[in-house]
Structure 1
Amino acid sequence: MITPAADLDAAIAAVREVLTPETDRDWAALPGTGDWAAQQTAAHIGDCLVSYAGQLVARPADRYVRFLAVAEDGSSPADALEFALAGAAILAAVVRTTEASVRAFHPTGPAGPAEFAALGCGELLVHGEDIARGLGRSLTPPPELCTHLLKELFPTAAPSLGDVDPWTALKWATDRADLPGRPRQTGWRWRS
């Protein structure tokens, strides 16, 4: 059985493989997520995943832990990617050492280590794909990881997507791909 922390390890490997060779490019000038440049998107990943780890450590019931993890001004693309992947590795380490029964605040509902791992994988893969797309590349995460994330993060949509490539389905669920015969997923929200 794959563990939640191993899921994070697989997501880290998929992002590292595609983005590391591209760190010699100017990520501040290339598109990332929405209005963000690739550099800002990488910083968002790092902040988000370190914050998820903080939630599992501090365990607040009704708010996020009051801190912000940021990439230093003047960081290079390699630094920004390092920050994103370090945030994922920190979350994986916390997930590995946190009791499964622990719950902490997330806006979509109380989450434990498995849920924060799924959310972290989603952030890492979806925003990693945003960066990759801006660089003219594409991620190829393991299909079984994408299938698992669909079931965890989009439980009502997952059953109707069984005939679709799992990575394409996950991109569709997060409004990053079109699927013939299905509406765009604007305003989507995943479940913790």
Structure 2
Amino acid sequence: MAVTADDLDAATSAVVAALRPATDLDWAAQAGSLEWDCWHTAEHIGDCLMSFAGQLVARPQDRYVRFMANADKDASAAEVLEFAEASARILAATVRASGPDVRAYHPSGQADPEGFAAMGCVETLLHGDDIAQGLGVAVDPPRDVCTRVLTRLFPEAAQDLAGVDPWAALRWSTGRIELPGRPRPAEWRWRGAPLSG
């Protein structure tokens, strides 16, 4: 039940399908409960996923690769969404090209390609949802992808929330929502390192 590059592609396609029709709306609107607006949240997705790809290529053991990926300041909403999508597809291609024994630095543990794919899914889905909330639209990701990502990055929550909709469980695990009998977590952390390591 590993998270794969195909899962990242599916997560990306779900977010892009939800947001592309909304690129004529005001992307200066606040993205969900974040301090960022929708435009800068999409830019963050692009930067984050390019960073993950850089980690897998350079494989540093104790730091991030020293670069930032930014959208042009005059990029339209459609263009900043394109930047986020391109970064996600580059990360997916990098995951496919990386052997399973590859490890690279992430603050949550020395991550493998599956870990970076899973973290890429979370960044894409959750920040895509933040943008969607700001624009008054909805992201509807594949539940099987959510299940695999939850199991990989939040194994304890995956067990505790086995009967909960996987998308709701993933949003709860990242501090986005409350669930019945479960207050919204004030702090959370995923596990980037392989579960067996």
Tell me whether the two structures share a fold, i.e. TM-score over 0.5: yes
Provide the residue aligned with 1:125 in structure 2: 125
Task: Say which structure, 1 or 2, has more relative contact order (CA 8 Å, 6+ apart).
Answer: 2
**Higher mean C-alpha displacement, 27-36 vs 151-160:** 27-36
Superposition misfits of 4+ residues, deviation over 4 angstroms: none
Letter of the 2:96 counterpart = R
Letter of the 1:88 counterpart = A
**Alpha-carbon spacing, 1:136–1:94, altered in 2? closer, same or farther (3 Å):** same
Q: CA RMSD in A?
A: 1.3
Q: Distance in 2 between matches of 1:93 and 1:20?
A: 22
SS in 1 for 2:28: helix
Offset at residue 183 of structure 1 (A): 2.3
Offset at residue 3 of structure 1 (A): 5.8
Provide the residue aligned with 2:112 in structure 1: 112
Provide the residue aligned with 1:22 in structure 2: 22
**Alpha-carbon spacing, 1:179–1:53, altered in 2? closer, same or farther (3 Å):** same
Structure 1: tracts of 5 or more residues without a match: none
Q: Give the TM-score, by structure 1 length.
A: 0.96
Q: Distance in 1 between matches of 2:140 and 2:29?
A: 24
Q: Identity across aligned pairs (percent)?
A: 58
SS in 2 for 1:68: coil
- 1:152-179, Cα deviation, whole Å (9 max, x unpaired): 1111111010110000111111111210
Q: Give the TM-score, by structure 2 length.
A: 0.94
**Higher mean C-alpha displacement, 34-43 vs 2-11:** 2-11
Q: Distance in 1 between matches of 2:3 and 2:27?
A: 33
Letter of the 2:109 counterpart = G
**Alpha-carbon spacing, 1:159–1:38, altered in 2? closer, same or farther (3 Å):** same
Q: How many correspondences in the alignment?
A: 192
SS in 2 for 1:75: coil
Q: Distance in 2 between matches of 1:163 and 1:61?
A: 37
SS in 2 for 1:27: coil
| Alignment of structure 1 residues 76-87 onto 2, 5 Å | 76-87=76-87
Structure 2: tracts of 5 or more residues without a match: 193-197
Contact 2:2 2:148 in 1 (8 A): no
Provide the residue aligned with 1:180 in structure 2: 180
Offset at residue 18 of structure 1 (A): 0.3
**Alpha-carbon spacing, 1:169–1:3, altered in 2? closer, same or farther (3 Å):** closer
- 1:9-63, Cα deviation, whole Å (9 max, x unpaired): 1011100110000001120234355110000100000000000000000000000
